[in-house]
Structure 1
């Protein structure tokens, strides 16, 4: 496998390894050997080392002296910490959209949601492919909101959450196939609240779905650790 621009080589390697972690091909606690990865991808060991540092910042790996990089654990504590801040940031994004745009000017949001629903309706039975497509479509809706808000700091912060959130979504989808339909319902309710210009309803929709996802993942972790 060879990687090319426009993204940096280290970023491409990080995305490759990160995706394997997200879909649980690499398990929590599993060691990632720089030399082995460099050989498999035909890249330098230095590029792999830089990629692992990127993944550490995204909370997908931990790097220990003399032991190297290992896939980070997904624990109840880390899940709670993730959803505490992610839900608040999504609520902030929603508020900023409604502060800048009236409901009549948000028809594009509904168009984005219809595209997401079309993706959900066309999905096959492969859980990995389904999760990836739904996550991509969901972040497509969020990117539309970024353009409306024009806050690069909020956009960058939320985008940096994508690997960790994607990881929890895969965990939930492995056990609850209904999560795909729940996701479609969430975005429809979100778009309805946005078009109505109802900030309180929009935040409630975000909080309810975020807490639903949190509860699903925590229940799975409790079951796996029993």
Structure 2
């Protein structure tokens, strides 16, 4: 595998490794060896080292003295901390969109949400490819919302949550067959609320789905502990 654009090489490596962590190809507790990754990707160890620091900031790995980089473990404490903040930030994004725009501007968000609902229904059989497409489409809706709100701080903060949130979504999809349908329902609820111009309904839909996702992941983690 070869990467282009040297100025963003470390970020590309981080995205490559991050995707393997999010989909479970690299399991919690597994070591990531700089030399091995550098050889596999035909890049320098320095670039890999920088990529690992990026992944550490995104809470996908931990770096220990003399042990090196290890894929981080999802814990109930980490999941609760993540969703406490993420749900509130998503609600803020939804409120700002509804406060600033209506009509034609909102039609873009609504049409994307409807399209994503259709995608989830078509991919309801599940699988990692289906999960990846749904996650990417969901963040596509968010990226469109960013352009309406035009708040670079909110956008940057939410984007920084993307790897950790995506990881939990893969976990939920792997263990609960109904999660794809639940995602479709969420985007249908958001679209209906936006059509009605009801900001409180948008926030309610976001909180309901966010809490649902949190609880699904927590159930899985608790079952792993007792297994």
State the TM-score, normalized to the length of structure 2.
Answer: 0.95
How big is the alpha-carbon RMSD for the aligned residues of Structure 1 and Structure 2? Answer: 1.4
Contact 1:18 1:163 in 2 (8 A): yes
Q: Summarize deviations over 1:7-29 as a string: whole Å, max 9, x none.
A: 71101100111011001111111
| 1:72 matched residue in structure 2 | 72
8 Å CA contact 1:91–1:203 kept in 2: the answer is yes
CA contact (8 A) 1:104 1:195 kept: no
Residue of structure 2 equivalent to 1:92: 92
Question: In the comparison of the two structures, how many residue pairs are matched?
Answer: 226
Listed one character per residue, the Cα deviations across residues 151-182 of structure 1 (whole Å, up to 9, x for unaligned) are 11111111111100010001000111211111
Correspondence for 2:146: 146
How many Å apart are 1:5 and its aligned residue?
A: 2.3
Matches of 1:148 and 1:46, distance apart in 2: 39
Structure 1 residue 186, shift from structure 2 partner: 0.2
2:53 is matched with which residue?
53
- Structure 2 gaps of 5+ residues are none
Shift of 1:67: 1.1
User: Is 2:120–2:181's contact at 8 Å kept on the other side of the alignment?
Assistant: yes
How far residue 103 of structure 1 moved from its aligned partner, in angstroms, is 4.9
Does the CA contact (< 8 Å) of 1:103 and 1:196 recur in 2? no
The whole-number CA distance in structure 2 between the counterparts of 1:114 and 1:37 is: 40
User: What is residue 181 of structure 2 aligned with on the other side?
Assistant: 181
- Once structures 1 and 2 are overlaid, which stretch shifts more, 187-196 or 158-167? 187-196
Per the TM alignment, residue 196 of structure 1 is displaced from its structure 2 partner at its CA by: 1.5
Structure 1, unaligned stretches of length 5 or more? none
Q: Which residue of 2 aligns with 1:35?
A: 35
Partner in structure 1 of residue 137 of structure 2: 137
Supply the distance in 1 between the matched residues of 2:7 and 2:60 (Cα, whole angstroms). Answer: 20
The Cα offsets for residues 170-205 of structure 1, whole Å up to 9 and x where unpaired, read as 100011121111101101111111222211111111
Structure 1 residue ranges, 4+ long, deviating more than 6 angstroms after superposition? none
Specify whether residues 126 and 105 from structure 1 end up closer, same or farther in structure 2 by C-alpha distance, changes over 3 A only: closer
Mean CA deviation greater in 197-206 or 115-124: 115-124
